[in-house]
Amino acid sequence: MLYGVKDLRIEDVEVPEVESGEVLVRVKAATTCGTDLKILQRGYVEKVIKLPTVFGHEWAGEVVEVSEGLDWPKKRMRVRAGNSAPCLHCAMCQKGKYNLCENMIWLWGAYAEYIKVPARMVLVNMQEIPQHVSYQEAAITEPLACVLHGAEEAGVKLGDTVTIIGAGPIGLLHLLTAKKKGAGKTISIDLVEERLNVARKLGADETINAGKENVVEKVRRLTSGYGADVVIEAIGLPATWEQALKLVRKGGTVLEFGGCPPGTEIKVDTELLHYGEVTVRGAFHATPLHFKKALNLIASRTIDVRPLVTRKMTLEEIKEAFEILSTTKSEIKIAITP
Ligand SMILES: [Zn+2]
Ligand SMILES: [Zn+2]
């Protein structure tokens, strides 16, 4: 069954009790994410999240309870964790593909006063937040971790022209990351002018409003007719997955990053792969190492995520927040505080 923003409501639930190895955290900030909206509107992989439930997955907070015998973290420590923890011993983990773990533990429930962190997650995917980093910045560790993993797959090299379809939070994080990886020219594409303005502020060299301009023609024009070295799709629609393939140069790489609805198929011109030697890659989620790296990059402000929070709202206003996200598209991320 599919739900919608109209089904969102605030309910009183029991404060979770911690068992062996677990930690209870008081949520101080949780950020909104397109994935949360997608889950509400079109469902998601059942293994990952089953509705109805408390949701939200980008958060940071203060430790209020630690199960007996656990010597880290300490009470009152500022932490972030999740939203996943691989088992480390399945076939995928043994291949080093921790993000594809067959027995992944997922944690949802950030839009709440308290969140209980499972034992395995305390061990492999929980970090202390440095004092100078705000809770809302630390909450953005999760999407940045996913983007870092994607950026590795895309293999941006020094001087590359990188085209990014989508200037929402993920597209903008890809933009910031590509610039740090040495992109020579960055091109951001979106339908919403406010988002393109943010992209320009964050350093996009060129922006294209896909509602007003011919995207393929303009990217060709900006790349001397060849296409971009790397194209990153950060929306999650079959039309933009296919469009990405038309924007890349021969021998270039397309990273299909945005998750499409279950069962989606796209058309790929075989000539593109054969004569054009184009590499097409997907990327899903992140490994504990990416989470750790992401928090470090946020803390050093190597990747400054502060401009991505364009509005703050309270937990009571959660429904309104998602109405804004689903209708206006003008906010990048809303930080929710209980
Ligand atoms: Zn997210
Ligand atoms: Zn595993």
Å from CA of 187 to ligand 2 middle: 37
| Neighbouring C-beta atoms of residue 284, cutoff 10 Å | 13
How far is ligand 1, taken at its centre, from the CA of residue 170, in Å? 8
Tokens standing for 225?
A: 């007719």
Task: Compute the distance from residue 265 Cα to the ligand 2 centre, in Å.
Answer: 27
The reported pLDDT for the residue numbered 156 is 97
How does DSSP assign 124-165, residue by residue? HSEEEPPTTS-HHHHHTHHHHHHHHHHHHHHT--TT-EEEEE
Give the integer Cα–Cα distance in Å for 36 and 25: 21
Chunk the chain into consecutive blocks of 10 residues (it has 338) and report each block's average pLDDT, rounded to whole numbers: 82 94 98 86 71 89 97 98 96 98 95 97 98 98 98 98 97 98 98 96 98 98 98 97 98 96 93 98 98 98 97 95 89 94
The ligand whose atoms approach the alpha carbon of 259 most closely is 1
Ligand nearest to the backbone CA of 288 = 2
CA 190 to chain CA mean position, Å:
17
CATH topology of domain 147-282: Rossmann fold (3.40.50)
Query: Which ligand number lies closest to the CA of residue 124?
Result: 2
CA of 105 to the centre of ligand 2 (A): 9
Distance 99 CA to ligand 2 centre (A): 8
pLDDT for the residue 171: 98
Ligand nearest, relative to CA of residue 99? 2
Token pair of 227 as six digits: 């296409």
What pTM was estimated for this model as a whole? 0.96
Residue boundaries of the structural domains of the chain: 5-140+305-337, 147-282
Cβ atoms within 10 Å, residue 6: 10
Q: What is the pLDDT of residue 190?
A: 97
Closest CA to 4 of 31, 50, 36, 49: 36
Q: Which of 77, 124, 144 is nearest to 300 (CA)?
A: 144
Whose atoms come closest to the Cα of 103: which ligand? Answer: 2
Q: Which CATH superfamily is domain 5-140+305-337 in?
A: Medium-chain alcohol dehydrogenases, catalytic domain (3.90.180.10)
CA 72 to ligand 1 center in whole angstroms: 26
**Integer Cα distance of 275 and 277 in angstroms:** 6
Residue 56: name the closest of 37, 72, 75, 74 by CA. 37
CA distance 70 to 21: 6
